[in-house]
């Protein structure tokens, strides 16, 4: 192989190395910005060093290659062309590196901004957690208060139902009293308050004695009346005579007529029967 051929081979190898170096630098630059920059600079230094060696060898071979000057000139033009291409590639790589650095800076700024936003979001989340805990506490209190109100409402409903039942019973008793009074032809006091006059408003019942004339449910008609000094709300004793003689309890005067009165049981130990004795005192021994 001629010297010129060797030179061309060497130059081709040099340019091939440069090309591979630049290509490798481009690839590495995309993987790691810092590493790519260092590799590119190292490869550039190696290529420059090899170029210097090649230029030295080329200068040394010029004397030996006088006959091939034309070919060497052509080769130099090709080398210049390759140099320009490689320089353009290097400039492009440098531009790409600068762009990547700029992008890296932008990404870094975004990371910092994102970290700041994350910190703010964390604070907001903590505040929301505090608000949530407060709401949970208030909700628990409201549930407890609601439960208490429900219990109170249930109690009031029960009281209402009790009052309704009591009112219904009173209404039935009132109807029964009116029916009884109507049947018996009894005249009630013009003022209803007279039915509830306390014993302190009038003297105690007279020391008289009568018998049960008729029993109509809880209303008992006796043979004592206004002529005997009885008034509404007088309390009388009631007892039974004969073989099964016994004290039964007390009755209260409900309404009176001249010769009769209607009483109701206050506290009795057995059902009242016709013929039982009533009086202000226990007068059974007088009979």
**3-class SS letters over 126-190:** HHHHHHHHHHHHHHHHHHHHHHHHHHHHHHHHHHHHHHHHHHHHHHHHHHHHHHHHHHHCCCCCC
Query: Which pLDDT score, from 0 to 100, does residue 284 have?
Result: 44
The CATH code of domain 202-286 reads: 2.40.10.340
Greater confidence (218 vs 194) lies with: 218
CA distance 24 to 16: 12
Report the mean per-residue pLDDT for the chain.
82
Q: What percent of the chain has pLDDT over 70?
A: 82
pTM: 0.35
Q: How confident is the model at residue 170 (pLDDT cuts 50, 70, 90)?
A: low
**15-44 burial code (b ≥16 CB/10 A, e <16):** beebeebbeebbebbeeebeebbebbeebb
pLDDT tens digits, 28-62? 767 777 777 778 788 889 989 888 998 888 788 77
Q: Quick check: 267 pLDDT over 80?
A: yes
Residue 225 Cα distances to 119, 172, 221, 230, 266, angstroms: 99, 26, 10, 6, 19
Q: How confident is the model at residue 167 (pLDDT cuts 50, 70, 90)?
A: low
Q: How confident is the model at residue 277 (pLDDT cuts 50, 70, 90)?
A: very high
Domain boundaries, the chain: 3-116, 202-286
Query: Which pLDDT score, from 0 to 100, does residue 287 have?
Result: 43
Query: Which pLDDT score, from 0 to 100, does residue 225 have?
Result: 95
Q: Which helix (H) or strand (E) holds 98?
A: helix 69-184
Q: Quick check: 286 pLDDT over 50?
A: no
**Highest mean pLDDT range out of 59-63, 94-98, 163-167?**
94-98
Greater confidence (110 vs 183) lies with: 110
Q: Quick check: 187 pLDDT over 70?
A: no
Query: Which pLDDT score, from 0 to 100, does residue 199 have?
Result: 44
CA distance 73 to 12: 15
Q: Quick check: 207 pLDDT over 50?
A: yes
């Amino acid at each position: 192989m001629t010297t010129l051929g060797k030179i061309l081979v060497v130059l081709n190898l040099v340019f091939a190395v440069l090309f591979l170096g630049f290509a490798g630098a481009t690839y590495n630059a995309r993987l790691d910005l810092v590493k790519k920059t260092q590799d590119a600079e190292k490869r550039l230094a190696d290529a420059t060093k090899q170029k210097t060696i090649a230029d030295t060898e080329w200068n040394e071979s010029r004397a030996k290659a006088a006959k091939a000057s034309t070919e060497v000139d052509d080769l130099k033009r090709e080398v210049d062309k390759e140099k320009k291409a490689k320089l353009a590639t290097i400039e492009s790589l440098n531009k790409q590196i600068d762009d990547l650095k700029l992008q890296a800076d932008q990404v870094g700024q975004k990371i910092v901004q994102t970290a700041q936003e994350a910190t703010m979001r964390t604070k907001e989340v903590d505040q929301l957690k505090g608000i949530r805990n407060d709401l949970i506490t208030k909700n628990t209190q409201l549930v407890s208060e609601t439960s208490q109100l429900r219990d109170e409402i249930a109690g009031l409903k029960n009281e209402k139902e009790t009052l309704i039942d009591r009112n219904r019973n009173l209404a039935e008793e009132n109807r029964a009293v009116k029916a009884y009074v109507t049947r018996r032809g009894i005249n009630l006091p013009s003022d209803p308050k007279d039915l509830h006059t306390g014993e302190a408003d009038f003297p105690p019942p007279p020391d008289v004695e009568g018998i049960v004339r008729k029993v109509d449910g809880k209303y008992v008609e006796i043979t004592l009346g206004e002529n005997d000094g009885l008034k509404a709300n007088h309390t009388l004793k009631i007892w039974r005579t004969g073989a099964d003689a016994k004290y039964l309890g007390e009755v209260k005067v409900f309404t009176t007529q001249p010769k009769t009165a209607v009483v109701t049981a206050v506290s009795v130990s057995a059902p009242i029967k016709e013929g039982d004795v009533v009086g202000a005192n226990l007068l059974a021994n007088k009979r």
